[in-house]
Amino acid sequence: MTSAFNGRKLWRIPQQGMLKGVCAGLAHYLNVPVKLVRLIVVLSLFFGLAFFTVVAYIIMTFALDPMPADAMDNEAQATSSELLDAVDAELAAGEKRLREMERYVTSDAFTLRGRFRQL
């Protein structure tokens, strides 16, 4: 199994950021929406983590390099065919798991275990 983070670097993205681009860089690295990262940061400010959040943001502002303008262009964009193949594989795996669960639930072993639990 390969990691989703192989070959990826954590950058600040000032072009997409509101302050210094730290949240945009984290969102890009984690492959989540920027609004989600910003929401988590704002909520952490209100729920007792204000000092930690501000210190971490300042440290990351100076520790992370800004993303070069051509770095976004160099990333391999998946084609629609590749995306459809990935979705198809995911659906096939889900269907296989569902069939295995259905086979177990309808088996005699499941019924027997249920009856032992009732005792």
Arithmetic mean of pLDDT, 50-58: 88
More reliable by pLDDT, 56 or 17: 56
Residue type, position 119, single letter: L
Residue type, position 42, single letter: V
Arithmetic mean of pLDDT, 31-35: 85
Question: Residues 6 or more apart from 57 whose CB is under 8 A from it?
Answer: 19, 20, 22, 41
Domain count, the chain: 2
115: Cα within 13 Å, side-chain hemisphere: 6
* Residue 52 shares a structural domain with residue 92: no
* Residue 16 shares a structural domain with residue 56: yes
Arithmetic mean of pLDDT, 23-52: 86
pLDDT at 90: 92
- What are phi and psi for residue 12, nearest 5 degrees? -90, 145
- Domain span holding position 104: 78-119
Q: Read off the pLDDT of residues 67-86 as tens digits, 9 standing for 90 and up.
A: 777 666 555 566 777 778 88
Arithmetic mean of pLDDT, 26-49: 86
| Nearest in space to 82 (alpha carbons), one of 70, 90, 93 | 90
* Residue 69 shares a structural domain with residue 117: no
